[in-house]
């Protein structure tokens, strides 16, 4: 079971990493469009549409990645103090009542939404010569399907936690800096930091 969890996590992580490169492409596109518009006096009517589609694709495909890292925003003022089994029970109820119906509706409706867009070869109507948007709309059901698969894994994680009393581990990825963990890794103690601070203060005093 744990191997299954981590396998799905890795797929979600891989997709998140792949689509994260869109932020670099988006930055380059915006920079070029600003330069082209104000310096070269040559704006491109399709640029705004492409920016929206790139950002939307990145945002939607990051959903499963963020869920796999347990990184979605939650009001954990009290949640963090609950024992694992109570946390799992609350998560399980919320997944079943809200997450599964909502994400299933996203994937289901998104499929027909994208299919209709492909059928008519839909283009953007913001400008007269807007770019094709049916490839972008295909992202909607794909993102919904991947989010639903990751959600099933999270539901199973809740069930395992209810049974074992502790959360199954997750695949490690980029994390915020944990100062205490960093101290342990480099074998630095608070006393050493205090002594270093005193030494720096002494040297600064001597220089004055």
**Are the beta carbons of 148 and 104 closer than 8 angstroms?**
yes
Shared domain check, 201 and 158: no
| Domain, as residue range, for 186 | 178-208
**pLDDT (tens digit per residue) in 17-31:** 999 999 999 999 999
Do 164 and 146 lie in one domain? The reply is yes
Q: What is the mean pLDDT of the chain?
A: 85
| Residues 151 and 64 grouped into a single domain | yes
124 in the same domain as 193: no
C-alpha to C-alpha distances, 10 to 15, 152, 173, nearest whole angstrom:
9, 15, 10
| Residues 153 and 205 placed together within one structural domain of the fold | no
Rounded to whole angstroms, the Cα distance separating 33 from 27 reads 10
pLDDT band of residue 48 (cuts 50, 70, 90) is confident
The model's pLDDT over 165-185, given as tens digits with 9 standing for 90+, comes to 888 887 765 555 555 665 566
Task: Give the number of domains in the chain.
Answer: 2
Same domain, 201 and 147: no
pTM here is: 0.76
Of 3 and 92, the structure prediction assigns the larger pLDDT to: 92
């Amino acid at each position: 079971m744990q191997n299954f969890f981590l396998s799905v996590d890795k797929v979600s992580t891989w997709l998140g990493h792949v689509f994260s490169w869109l932020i670099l492409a988006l930055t380059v596109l915006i920079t070029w469009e600003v330069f082209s518009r104000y310096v070269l006096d040559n704006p491109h009517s399709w640029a705004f549409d492409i920016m929206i589609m790139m950002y939307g694709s990145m945002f939607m495909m990051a959903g499963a990645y963020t869920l796999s890292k347990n990184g979605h925003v939650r009001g954990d003022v009290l949640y963090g103090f609950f024992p694992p089994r109570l946390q799992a029970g609350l998560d399980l109820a919320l997944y079943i009542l809200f997450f599964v119906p909502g994400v299933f509706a996203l994937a289901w409706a998104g499929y027909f939404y994208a299919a209709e867009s492909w059928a008519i070869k839909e283009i953007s109507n913001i400008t007269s010569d807007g770019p094709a948007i049916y490839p972008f709309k295909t992202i909607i059901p794909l993102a919904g399907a991947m989010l639903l698969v990751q959600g099933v894994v999270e539901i199973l994680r809740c069930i395992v936690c209810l049974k074992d009393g502790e959360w199954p581990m997750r695949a490690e990825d980029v994390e915020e800096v944990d100062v205490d963990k960093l101290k342990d890794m480099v074998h630095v103690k608070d006393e050493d930091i205090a002594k270093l601070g005193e030494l720096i203060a002494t040297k600064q005093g001597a220089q004055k």
